[in-house]
Amino acid sequence: MSFVKALTCRECGKEYPKEALHVCEYCFGPLEVSYNYDEIGKVLSREVIEGRAPNMWRYKELLPLDGDPTVGKDVGFTPLVRAHNLGKVLGVKELYIKNDAVNYPTLSFKDRVVSVATSRALEMGFKTVACASTGNLANSVAANAASVGMENYVFIPNDLEKTKVMGTLIYGSKVVAIKGTYDEVNRLCSEIAGKYGWAFVNINIRPYYAEGSKTFGFEIAEQLGWKVPKHIIVPMAGGSLITKIWKAFNEFHKLGLIDKVDTKVYGAQATGCSPIVAAVKAGAELIKPVRPNTIAKSLAIGNPADGFYSAKVMRESGGTGEDVSDAEIIDGMKLLAETEGIFAETAGGVTVGVTKKLIESGRIPKDESIVISVTGNGLKTQEALYDVLEEPTVIEARLKDFDDLVESSGDRYAMEG
């Protein structure tokens, strides 16, 4: 049974039936799924949720399907890691990592949105799914479509990391690399969606797709013992995830599952592609599109679809936006790996780097709870680390050679204690 009330225009409030629609025909505003919260409140409680399997579908009443999911049934419920070591380095008392680098099946938070979108596409009778992607979405569409034998097309900019492209091709997906930026890929896909009648998960069925991101926020609140953190740092590409975490916290509050929402929300981008952060810093309403140039390719969207709404969330919650250079991104990846044993992708380096900046500048206080959003896996963006990490030392298979190494190498191989 579905608790969806309608697709509602975010600008003028006009309601539409729950079909494959994404823009308001009156004002061109984006459509968003709205729910009958009174009805949900009658069936959903902490106990009901806690009694369900550990995946994102434990919040199914707050997701836009008519029936049970048919794709991605095991996605979600990733660890919320208490990060004592990183917390010590940053000088903060209560730090957590929400770790979607280990999300099932393709190691990024995109599995959340794709399982909702693909399940919904099947409900609406689509035979083919597709996407315009900066990499992780491609991996997830390809894998999840393969898992149900659904035909799928993936469109990417042709400068993506080789490892990420391979992580799409392996599933037998039809991959088209476009000579251009993500924004150009996206524009072309809008035309293809209209002409071929496919379900483009992040274009013509975007309202359903985007709802999947809420589960990242639901899980954090539940894992903290049914409360929200005081601060959360979120990486932004199109700016959808950050708005959906905010929606998630507020829905839980509306349903009485948590007492209050007093979270400050911070958006993180790479300096080489920071149109949303630039607008927030300038106090501007309008997002000025940019041409991306950063190693954080998964976040390289120069004309973010939800830029305006993500800036609004930062403003309303009392948070802000910050950006970091490519060098700071690498430092962030290394810092997270060395302190917590978590290998995040470049986007994780962005979030960790931005968190460090916000704490060091005193904008996030040291004695309040902080959640860092890690949204993707470092094994998929290894290219960013070529020539950055030290090479292993090569020796012959002789004890003497190792002894010499220990003696001569100073810190690196010296024995402790």
Ligand X SMILES: *Cc1c(COP(=O)(O)O)cnc(C)c1O
272: contact with ligand X by CB under 6 A? no
Given the rule CB under 5 A, which of 14-22, 58-66, 341-349, 370-378 is the region that contacts Zn ion? 14-22
CB 325, min distance to ligand X, A: 18
31: contact with Zn ion by CB under 5 A? no
23: contact with Zn ion by CB under 5 A? no
Question: Are the CB atoms for 264 and 318 separated by under 8 Å?
Answer: yes
Q: Note if the bond before 105 is cis, omega within 30 degrees.
A: yes
- Rounding to the nearest 10 degrees, give the CA dihedral for residues 140, 141, 142, 144: 80
Given the rule CB under 6 A, which of 6-14, 33-41, 223-231, 238-246 is the region that contacts ligand X? 238-246
**Residue 111 partner contact from ligand X, Zn ion, none using kind-dependent CB cut-offs of 5 to 8 Å:** none
Which residue's entry shows tokens 């902080």? 370
What is the size of the binding site for Zn ion (CB under 5 A)? Answer: 8
Which residue's entry shows tokens 């012959």? 396
Residue 174, CB half-sphere, CA atoms under 13 Å: how many? 7
280: contact with Zn ion by CB under 5 A? no
**Residue 29 partner contact from ligand X, Zn ion, none using kind-dependent CB cut-offs of 5 to 8 Å:** Zn ion
277: contact with ligand X by CB under 6 A? no
> E-assigned strands of 222-298?
231-235, 264-270
298: contact with ligand X by CB under 6 A? yes
Count the helix, strand and coil residues of the chain and give each as a percent rounded to the nearest 5. 45, 15, 40
Given the rule CB under 6 A, which of 2-10, 87-95, 177-185, 229-237 is the region that contacts ligand X? 229-237
- 3-class secondary-structure state, position 83: coil
- Looking at beta carbons, which residue is closest to Zn ion? 24
240: contact with ligand X by CB under 6 A? yes
CB 202, min distance to Zn ion, A: 20
136: contact with ligand X by CB under 6 A? yes
CB 76, min distance to ligand X, A: 15
Long-range contacts of the stretch 329-337 (C-beta < 8 A, 24+): 329/270, 329/294, 329/295, 329/296, 329/353, 329/384, 330/295, 330/384, 330/385, 330/388, 332/356, 333/378, 333/384, 333/385, 335/86, 335/89, 336/86, 336/97, 336/374, 337/378
**Residue 11 partner contact from Zn ion, ligand X, none using kind-dependent CB cut-offs of 5 to 8 Å:** Zn ion
Q: Which amino acid is at 18?
A: K
- Give the strand pairing for 199-200 and 231-235: unpaired
Using CB under 6 A as the binding rule, the residues of this chain from 105 to 124 that contact ligand X are 108, 110
307: contact with ligand X by CB under 6 A? no
- Closer CB to ligand X, 55 or 136, in the complex: 136
Contact residues for Zn ion, defined by CB under 5 A: 9, 11-12, 14, 24, 26-27, 29
Contact residues for ligand X, defined by CB under 6 A: 108, 110, 136, 235-241, 298-299, 345, 347, 375-376
